[in-house]
Amino acid sequence: MKYTNATQVLPEKLIMEIQKYVQGETLYIPKQEYQKWGTSSGGRRMLDRRNASIRNSFSNGSSIQQLAKEYHLSTETIKKIVYSHNR
């Protein structure tokens, strides 16, 4: 973990406020949560719709092999999609 002196990156008022709670110790500040892959670009939404369509087709009688050919995916990928519990 990289050590950074707070006086180099934080405003003096903020340092004074933090010093009310902790002084002279190492303080870990966690990173903000990152968005999941594809959230901003719409890629995640597109894959979710595709996977829902695959599950629907499978429920309506399409075989794993037919779906693999239609969606240009491996049979193992189709199995992961249709048998997953992330619906």
Spatial contact of 38 and 47, defined as CB atoms under 8 Å apart? yes
Mean pLDDT of 63-85: 95
Whole-number average pLDDT of the chain: 91
User: pLDDT exceeding 70 applies to what percent of the chain?
Assistant: 97
Tell me the Ramachandran region of residue 11: left when phi exceeds 0, alpha when psi lies from -120 to 50, beta otherwise: beta
Whether the predicted pLDDT of 87 surpasses 60: no
Q: From residue 55, how far is each of 8, 15, 30, 60, 62 by CA, in Å?
A: 54, 54, 38, 9, 9
* Predicted pLDDT at 86: 65
Here the tokens at position 10 are 């934080």
Q: What residue spans define the domains of the chain? A: 6-83
pTM strictly above 0.85: no
